Amino acid sequence: MAVLVARQGRELQRYSPRTGGRIVVGCIPYLVRDDGELEVLVISSQKGHGMMFPKGGWEVDESMDDAARREALEEAGVRGDTGVVLGLWHYQSRRYQQTYEGYMFPLRVTDQLGQWPEMASRKRTWATVQEVMEGCQHAWMREALKELVDRHAKLQSAL
C-alpha cells in the first residue's frame, strides 16, 4: 500500500495577477442517490469545526482539475472524476488581508478511502444539499453548490 502525504508549503503556489492573493482550487464531492438526489461530502476545517468543501492552492506543476482531485484526496480521502468547472469566485481570506480567487469543480466520487493524509485533522460527512446550504458558512461555496444542483437538475430533466 502506498503512503499518501499531503503537500506542504507555498513555494509552488500560484498567485493572481489581479488581486495578488492565492489562486485556490476545490471541488464538491458528490454522489447521485437512487432517488436521483445529490448527496455531497463536506469536511471540517483543520480546527475541527465548520462545514466546507475540499480546497487549496493551485500549484505550478498541475492542472486545475488535478489540483481539485489532489485536494479531495488529501482533505477528504476520496477519488473521483471532475466535471466542467462550476465557476470562479472571489473571497476575502480570513487569515490574511488578501482577496483569493477560488475555482470549484464537481467531483463525482468513485472511491472513498479508509485512510487519507489529513484524516487526523478533518472530519468528513455525507450531507444533503439542504444541510450544506444551511450549515456552510462560506457564501461562495454555497453558490458553487447551487450551480452544481442547477446543472444536475437540467441533466435530470433532459432524461
pLDDT, tens digit only, all 159 positions of the chain: 444 555 565 678 999 999 889 999 999 999 999 998 999 999 998 776 789 999 999 999 999 999 999 999 999 999 999 999 999 999 988 777 889 999 999 999 999 999 999 999 999 999 999 999 999 999 999 999 999 999 999 988 877
Q: Is the pTM of this model over 0.95?
A: no
Cα angle, residue 131 at apex, residues 126 and 132 outer, rounded to 5°: 75
Are 134 and 54 within 8 A, CB to CB? no
Assign domain 23-158 to a CATH class.
alpha beta
Cα 122 to Cα 119: distance, rounded to the nearest angstrom: 5
**Domain parsing of the chain, residue ranges:** 23-158
